[in-house]
Structure 1
């Protein structure tokens, strides 16, 4: 069973082809090019690298958020189009859960973070137990200082990963003794991790509807907030 996995939740563009037995190919890059420019060519390239025809795929797994509003929409739209055209199952994979699979290590609290702007981060923590990645809390939006403080109160080693680690934590905030940062090659989202979660979901029959699957935003976009500030009468009318 082979699936194509997509992660465009951040500035990183990542596409992979994987099966239960192996990761056949992965292309991950962070550049100034937009996902709308790179995603489709990368999908074609990674299938060629894996020597897998799109007609032989068993499903498409896509990172559904939280993360970049535009990136999530582009990734999900591409996944939906391929699934609709090839009549394939669509598997939505929570971004923070997929990231936690960088550290499938028992006895460690894995805290995944993605930039939510204005000194905040989308946050969720996990423990790996008996082959499962178990969420320890719901996704929240927290201030970075609050994140560091709460991690310091945990009675186990904590590892932080996500795009805010190199941008806003490493070398900028003091860390408690039990908290460490993921190294550079394990900080950012990867389609390989989306594929691992996607394969498990596909095997369990946990697939989505191509027509109505939506990204998990958690909060409204900055554009929506600014529009409401500039058009309070329209916002109030819509709330009635």
Structure 2
């Protein structure tokens, strides 16, 4: 089984092809939010380098967010187009689970935190149980102070990851002795993690409905927010 995977939820434009045993190839471009220009050429390049065509694929996986509004729309549109054209099933995951899964096997609490603007972060709490990623708290929008409050009595090791490390200093993030910060390589979601995160669903054929699959935004875009503020809908 060969699976093409796409993640455009962050600044990182990530595409990968994996099979049951290994990651066959992956390309990550974490620069300047160029998804509209990069995504399809990266997919074509990766398939060419692997001597594959779309007809050789068995499934697609992708991130539905939360994250970059524009990136999510681009990734989902590309995935739907490929799926419809080649009659491929789609399996989707939220971006926070994908980030957490990138630290496979961590024994403590994983806290992905992605900038949601206006002082909030997309976040959740995760841990691995018997090799499976388990959500302790489902995706939410919280401030750092609210996250600290939720973790104040947690005695297990805590790992914070995501683009929050680019927004807030390490000293402030390490608010307890058992808190550590992920290595830079773990702070961007990567397409190669998605199929393995969703492997049980893929094996059982529990695919998403391509017609009802939509991005997970969790809040209005900055443009919508500014417009509503301008016309007096927000105070």
- In structure 2, runs of 5+ residues without a counterpart are none
Retained in 2: the 8 A contact 1:108–1:157?
Answer: yes
Q: Which residue matches 2:181?
A: 181
Matched residue of 1:168: which SS?
A: coil
Q: Which residue matches 1:138?
A: 138
Deviation at 1:167, TM superposition (A): 2.8
Q: Which residue matches 1:59?
A: 59
Indicate whether 1:84 and 2:84 are aligned: yes
* CA-based RMSD: 1.9
Q: Which residue matches 2:162?
A: 162
Retained in 2: the 8 A contact 1:148–1:176?
Answer: no
Deviation at 1:165, TM superposition (A): 1.7
- In structure 1, runs of 5+ residues without a counterpart are 236-240
Deviation at 1:170, TM superposition (A): 2.8
Q: Deviations over 1:165-185 (max 9, x none)?
A: 233243554431010000011
Distance 1:58 1:199, change over 3 A: farther
Q: Which residue matches 2:13?
A: 13
Q: Normalized against structure 1, the TM-score is what?
A: 0.91
Matched residue of 2:155: which SS?
A: coil
In the alignment, the residues of structure 1 paired with residue 101 and residue 83 of structure 2 have an alpha-carbon distance, to the nearest angstrom, of 25
Q: Normalized against structure 2, the TM-score is what?
A: 0.92
In the alignment, the residues of structure 2 paired with residue 51 and residue 83 of structure 1 have an alpha-carbon distance, to the nearest angstrom, of 19
In the alignment, the residues of structure 2 paired with residue 64 and residue 115 of structure 1 have an alpha-carbon distance, to the nearest angstrom, of 16
In the alignment, the residues of structure 1 paired with residue 6 and residue 232 of structure 2 have an alpha-carbon distance, to the nearest angstrom, of 38
Deviation at 1:106, TM superposition (A): 5.1
Q: Which residue matches 2:207?
A: 207
Indicate whether 1:48 and 2:40 are aligned: no
In the alignment, the residues of structure 2 paired with residue 199 and residue 4 of structure 1 have an alpha-carbon distance, to the nearest angstrom, of 13
In the alignment, the residues of structure 2 paired with residue 93 and residue 117 of structure 1 have an alpha-carbon distance, to the nearest angstrom, of 22
Distance 1:33 1:215, change over 3 A: closer
Indicate whether 1:73 and 2:80 are aligned: no
Q: Which residue matches 2:97?
A: 97
- For residues 105-116 of structure 1, the aligned pairs below 5 Å read 105=105, 107-116=107-116
In the alignment, the residues of structure 2 paired with residue 156 and residue 33 of structure 1 have an alpha-carbon distance, to the nearest angstrom, of 35
In the alignment, the residues of structure 2 paired with residue 52 and residue 71 of structure 1 have an alpha-carbon distance, to the nearest angstrom, of 25
Retained in 1: the 8 A contact 2:13–2:33?
Answer: no
Matched residue of 2:127: which SS?
A: strand
